[in-house]
Structure 1
Amino acid sequence: MSFVVDVQREVELEAISDADFEQWVSCALTGRKTEGEVCICIVSPEESQQLNNDYRGKDKPTNVLSFPFDAPPEVPVSLLGDLAICADVVASEAQEQGKPLRNHWAHMTIHGVLHLIGYDHIKDADAEAMEALEVEILASLDIPNPYENGE
């Protein structure tokens, strides 16, 4: 398996390393993809709000946005897409929910990667399947179920 993770930091994170992101992406993709490249952009609330407004019509910052890359069939690339993760939103959510910051970063990264490979939570059945997969992946990292506290 060959997974490539490119981390771009508009905002610095002292507690989370590139190796952390690589581990979380790998855990999300293992068994679902044999290769793939993901670009993770750590963004400010302003950047997150602009992207969320431009692409989802929601004028507020959000925790993670996923931008899948859909190459034409004749173009052999392994790029799965980009994630824009807002450091301030992730930190405030972790604090509000009483969760370790590192665990919430892992969850948001895994959640975003699953979106890149086609999972969503629009329909209840799809949401249940995606959440169950997130819980399974997080458990493999010794991270408790994030949905037990109403996340």
Structure 2
Amino acid sequence: MIEVQIDDDAWLEALPEVKKLGFAAADAALSFLPPEMGEDLGLVVFLTDDETVRDLNERFRGKDKPTNVLSFPSPPGNPEGHIGDIALAYGVCAREAEEQNKPLAAHLQHLVVHGVLHLVGYDHETDEEADKMEGLERIILEGLGVPDPYAAGAREA
């Protein structure tokens, strides 16, 4: 089960279809997971503000600043199939979309896909990991009709 929770109305004001966009991106990412991960996996997409993400980032990562997306994987062996939660900061995401000349909807979907992949163990700490993760992101986003977020060569998340 995918749940999209909106904590900051700025998301709805900017993107009235934000719940649908978040759900579609999370669902598309989950559909690319290997079958051994199981079926009926669940997660929460939490759409909030910069201050809430800043607080989460500080408490869980020791970084006192907002960021675009945070992923919080569930502990291994979760019997309910809940793989975790992702949180997105409206202000950071909106600024990045504007700076990168991207539609906010496309940036949101990219960050949701990116966050879901982090929940299931993908990372981008090394060039090899980044290439693998970005390749999968491109495939998933293409299926959603979202342009390649890495076309200019910048790593954003």
Q: How many residues align?
A: 146
Which residue of 2 is the match for residue 61 of structure 1? 66
Aligned match of 1:104 in 97, 103, 107? 107
> Does structure 2 conserve the Cα–Cα contact (< 8 Å) formed by 1:9 and 1:43?
yes
- After TM superposition, the score normalised by the length of structure 2 is 0.87
> In the alignment, is residue 9 of structure 1 matched against residue 6 of structure 2?
yes
Deviation of 1:40 (Å): 1.3
Deviation of 1:35 (Å): 2.1
Superposed, 1:54-93 pairs within 5 Å as 54-71=59-76, 73=77, 76-93=79-96
Q: Which moved more, 1:24-33 or 1:102-111?
A: 24-33
For structure 2, the 5+ residue unaligned runs are none
For structure 1, the 5+ residue unaligned runs are none
Deviation of 1:17 (Å): 2.9
> Does structure 2 conserve the Cα–Cα contact (< 8 Å) formed by 1:103 and 1:143?
yes
Matched residues in 2 for 1:134 and 1:30: separation?
12
Q: Secondary structure at the match of 2:53?
A: helix
Q: Please list the CA deviations of residues 66-93 of structure 1 after superposition, one character each: whole Å capped at 9, or x if unmatched.
A: 000014x4x5211010111101111100
Matched residues in 2 for 1:21 and 1:66: separation?
14
Q: Secondary structure at the match of 2:4?
A: strand
Which residue of 2 is the match for residue 50 of structure 1? 55
Structure (1 or 2) with the greater helix fraction: 2
Q: Which moved more, 1:97-106 or 1:139-148?
A: 139-148
Which residue of 2 is the match for residue 19 of structure 1? 20
